[in-house]
Amino acid sequence: MPTDSTDPTSGECSADEARPRSGRAADIRATLQDEIETGKLPPGATLDERALAARFDVSRTPVREALQQLAARELVRIAPRQGVTVARLSIGKVRAMLEFIAELEALAARLAARRVDDALRAQLDEALTRGQEAAVTGGAAEYSVTNTLFHEVIYAGSRNEYLAEQIRGARRRIQRYRIKDFQNKQQIARSLQDHLKIARAIQSGDEAGAWEAMHLHVPVGSSGFSEFLATVPMSFFDSEAGDPA
């Protein structure tokens, strides 16, 4: 009897059945990666092969391949006799990643100030306006969109696409730990104030001011990082590396 793709009565196979197993694994990996990076699947969440196979309507083989691909990206942890879980980072690793992002973001702001022109000045003003409107009429999700837009304007203004890609990649890897950003009016108001300082420094061509304002915007200082930690459940962190609880 046929074991996989062909219906013996019709001689045909469905589009999903006809898709190569490696292609199905890649699709599953992409979906799960997005859910992990956006926090839909939080750090420490269990991933069951059987349940995932049922969800994606496939055998367990492409699911297993997808999970192995995620493990190679350090997004899941596969432990013998313990199953598969969404990878948890140590507090030290999260802080190191935020320090890295702060330096890259600050460099992008410095380069944008160095290369500023009238078009960039106008784009920054528009991004500020959209952020202010979202703060008044929208919620966390709406403001988060305008926050991303503001930073993307600066990346474009830096005119260094390699730098921009490095920042985007780092932000994706840390995003699941920042799902509580912009959850209250105080956080949004502080973000808006930071954006205004950053934008004005860039618009005036103040490289040092733009670097400093952006560096302060990312929560890496002692007080800023402590406030950030207060928004993240401790269960999200891996304490095996000896980090303080």
Average pLDDT over residues 180-197: 90
7 vs 183: which has the higher pLDDT: 183
- Percentages of the chain per state (helix, strand, coil), in multiples of 5: 65, 5, 30
Rounded (5°) CA angle 85-240-38: 40
H or E stretch covering 187: helix 185-203
Whether 233 has a pLDDT exceeding 80, the answer reads yes
Q: Which of 206, 15, 228 is nearest to 102 (CA)?
A: 228
Fold of 91-236: Four Helix Bundle (Hemerythrin (Met), subunit A) (1.20.120)
Rounded (5°) CA angle 188-193-196: 125
Q: Which of 92, 91, 117, 113 is nearest to 199 (CA)?
A: 113
**Residue-level pLDDT at 5:** 43
Domain-wise residue ranges, the chain = 17-86, 91-236
Tokens 């840390």 correspond to 174
Predicted confidence band of residue 19 (pLDDT cuts 50, 70, 90): low
Sign for the CA dihedral angle at 108, 221, 170, 193 comes to negative
> What would the two tokens of residue 3 be?
């074991």
| Reported pTM | 0.81
pLDDT digits (tens, 9 = 90+) for 132-159: 999 998 788 899 999 999 999 999 999 9
Whether 245 has a pLDDT exceeding 70, the answer reads no
**Residue-level pLDDT at 143:** 92
H or E stretch covering 47: strand 46-47
Q: Are 219 and 225 in contact (CB under 8 A)?
A: yes
Rounded (5°) CA angle 63-46-89: 105
Q: What is the rounded distance in angstroms from the CA atom of residue 203 to the CA atom of residue 179?
A: 30
Sign for the CA dihedral angle at 35, 220, 95, 109 comes to positive
**Domain 17-86 architecture:** Orthogonal Bundle (1.10)
